[in-house]
Amino acid sequence: MTNQLDVLQALRQTRHDWLNVMQLIKGNLALKRYDRIEEIIHQVTQQSICESKISEIQAPSVVYFLLTYNWFSNNIKLELDVAGEVFSLENKEVQLLRLCEEITEKLTNDCTIDTENNLLITFLFTEEYCEVTFDFQGALQKKVDWQRFKLERESIVNLVEWNEQECVLVARFARS
């Protein structure tokens, strides 16, 4: 029964998301803002392509987390980007899921709720590795101890940038 309820919830949320897109198109059509309509269609197309690519990493718990994150979180809007030739991250699934959950949780706990907060997670696939970049833009209340976080993660995470409006972390997973 739970599986059926999960499917129904996914269909309900997807329908809601598509209705929002249609409302944006309809509103811009009424305003004769055709350039904005093209931009909306381009954004939705790119998002769909990224969601399709991320679904190929063969790490279902990670894919589920990433694709449903915005359904359950109101503090941070998560966006995805995928570049390169996707390969399996099946053997890194647990580690990658934990990393995604912990970073999003730390950022959610540290961000202000009166500001628009965005997290772009980029998967860059190369011949040797998959580099995952967490690029947060918004407002942070305090500095998270990312050095300790990094040590706890066996140094796979590097802090690239941090200030009150931005936090960029990069993790690298070798191709197996």
Kindly state the tokens that stand for 9: 């919830």
Domain of 71: which CATH number?
Answer: 3.30.565.30
Residue 53 lies in a domain: no
Residue 153 lies in a domain: yes
Number of separate domains in the chain: 1
Residue 130's φ and ψ, nearest 5 degrees, are: -115, 120
List 83's β-bridge partners, or say none. Answer: 124
Residue 24 lies in a domain: no
- pLDDT tens for 109-142 read 888 888 899 999 999 999 999 999 999 999 987 6
Residue 35 lies in a domain: no
For 126, the domain range is 58-174
Distances (CA, A) of 85 to 58, 124, 143, 174: 14, 9, 35, 14
- pLDDT tens for 82-112 read 999 999 999 999 999 999 999 999 898 888 8
Residue type for 102, please?
E
